[in-house]
A = this chain, B = another copy of it.
């Protein structure tokens, strides 16, 4: 008789976005005349850069002719794309070899699949609040998980202490959901901790392109010592609007050895066995992102979102509401005013301003009393939403 993976029974349903949808639906049905503005959206809305679209059309054309047709490509990605990524990192002062880069269909896949190469006995450390995938993928393997509090006291940037014990450490910077970004000095504390304890840092850099402060690290490999303790996941989803186009990459340095094994070789074996590479067409689009023109065009989109973030944070500044994120992140994480709890503020905003955001409590217990707004809307919606929020909170 076939048995299932019993760890799946320990997964909780994530009701966050379902519950948001239900409350918005109920409100809309009762108030059909109200125009609801959504600042809870975690997905890009601007179209792909023209150079990316043209590169993909041309690549589709390559597939129409036997002379330029592409069959199976390397599971790890084409050299043309890996070389482009090497060049992109060189721009941050990070030297990589092409075979330290593994192209994939997105960071979410890799963040889940990387656990294949690790033992189930590893102790896992995850900040709270958190992107739910870190937690759920480890529950699926039955690993022992410890949460580390991320809160106002530590600026939503927890650091290792003398009691910290962990084998696998998840860090996300710029953070989802808080938008907080580690400084080089802070990341160095985690790198030193991992190197001295033999832990591995799983570093999620999906939002790196939103960093505008040049003193902040965009890659963990900007930190001395990271090559012997860290794996980095990145994605073109937010960098270049690829959420529906699907391309990301994972960097596993050759110096990263644990338990007598090179993790680069283990991951290569995993990917060549359970993956067949990313569509040639998509890889050509991704390559275009890293050209000079591609960087210019995609940065225009990011600047647009960044200005939306400024609309939001300027309003919060005028209201005197505490927040982090926004400047170097598409997310703005604010303290609910007047001591409201997350869902209380959600209902208040929906009812009084017809604005939808995301209750922080949905990302973990330390998110209670906080709220996430995002900059992925159009400008007019961000302006109108914040004008409404200012109006109701000034009168409050």
Q: Given A48-B69, A64-B48: A106 and B276 within 8 A (CB)?
A: yes
- CB atoms of B279 and A4 under 8 A apart: no
- Which of A195-203, A208-216, A311-319, A340-348 participates in binding chain B? A195-203
User: Is A34 in the interface zone, CB < 8 Å from B?
Assistant: no
Q: Given A65-B47, A105-B105, A275-B109: A244 and B73 within 8 A (CB)?
A: yes
What mask results when residues 86 to 112 of chain A are scored 1 for a CB within 8 Å of chain B, else 0? Answer: 000000000000000000011011001
User: Is A11 in the interface zone, CB < 8 Å from B?
Assistant: yes
Task: Give the size of the chain A interface in residues (CB under 8 angstroms).
Answer: 78
Give chain B residues whose Cβ lies under 8 Å from the Cβ of A277.
Answer: 244, 246
- CB atoms of B198 and A72 under 8 A apart: no
User: Cα distance A263–B4 when bound, in Å?
Assistant: 8
- CB atoms of A133 and B4 under 8 A apart: no
Which A180-217 residues have a C-beta within 8 angstroms of B?
197-200
- CB atoms of B53 and A63 under 8 A apart: yes
User: Cα distance A133–B275 when bound, in Å?
Assistant: 10
- CB atoms of A3 and B259 under 8 A apart: yes
- CB atoms of B44 and A63 under 8 A apart: no
User: Is A116 in the interface zone, CB < 8 Å from B?
Assistant: yes
Give the residue name and chain of the B residue nearest to A75 (CB). Answer: B108
User: Is A322 in the interface zone, CB < 8 Å from B?
Assistant: no
- CB atoms of B167 and A280 under 8 A apart: no
- CB atoms of B273 and A137 under 8 A apart: yes
Among A52, A279, A282: residue with most chain B CB under 10 A: A279
- CB atoms of B273 and A140 under 8 A apart: yes
Q: Given A72-B244, A108-B276, A116-B140: A2 and B200 within 8 A (CB)?
A: yes
- CB atoms of B5 and A246 under 8 A apart: no
User: Cα distance A241–B69 when bound, in Å?
Assistant: 10
User: Cα distance A8–B112 when bound, in Å?
Assistant: 17
Q: Given A200-B2, A246-B279: A8 and B66 within 8 A (CB)?
A: no
User: Is A60 in the interface zone, CB < 8 Å from B?
Assistant: yes
- CB atoms of B243 and A71 under 8 A apart: yes
> A1's contact among B136, B258, B266, by CB below 8 Å, is which?
B258
- CB atoms of A46 and B60 under 8 A apart: no
Q: Given A2-B118, A243-B71, A274-B113: A53 and B48 within 8 A (CB)?
A: no
CB distance from A45 to the nearest CB of B (A): 7
Closest 7 CB pairs of A and B: A112-B274, A3-B119, A1-B198, A70-B244, A43-B71, A56-B60, A71-B243
